[in-house]
Amino acid sequence: MHSVANTIKVIDRLDFPILPTYEDNIMGMLLPSYYEYLEQSDKTVKNARKVVLAQGKTKCSLCGCDLEEVYLGRANELLEAHIMLPIAQISRREKITLSDILFLCPACHKLAHTAPELIEEQNLRELVKGR
């Protein structure tokens, strides 16, 4: 809990938008908003997404759905980058590296942001495995 409180203190000082999706989720809104902000603005993340798409890697790494195939060439719009850095590392503002990024379909990505513990790949995989 201590590290969560610290994180909130740190990210509270940063200037980033709180997404309307989280407005009624007062306890959790800062953190998911910060992750989404990073996912859409961090240079490493943006470049990694471009590279993955250019290599034709258009499958969701969680459910395996091939977005290019299923949505007829729309992977570019649909493939989303997810940062799975644990909260403690985010609060230390460590640089995001390639191994911290997971490429997901919009549904799996939405799921990853429904609970703080699901940010991390292992917890997310266990949930999807249990479907």
CB of 28 to Zn ion, least distance (A): 13
Does 101 participate in binding Zn ion (rule CB under 5 A)?
Answer: no
Which residue in the set 11, 31, 105, 124 belongs to the binding site for Zn ion (CB under 5 A)?
A: 105
Does 31 participate in binding Zn ion (rule CB under 5 A)?
Answer: no
CA distance 60 to 10: 31
Decide whether 60 or 75 has the Cβ nearer to Zn ion: 60
CA distance 105 to 82: 10
Does 124 participate in binding Zn ion (rule CB under 5 A)?
Answer: no
Which residue in the set 75, 87, 108, 124 belongs to the binding site for Zn ion (CB under 5 A)?
A: 108
Decide whether 2 or 77 has the Cβ nearer to Zn ion: 77
| Residues 50 to 79 in contact with Zn ion, rule: CB under 5 A | 60, 62-63, 65
| Footprint of Zn ion (CB under 5 A) | 60, 62-63, 65, 82, 105, 108
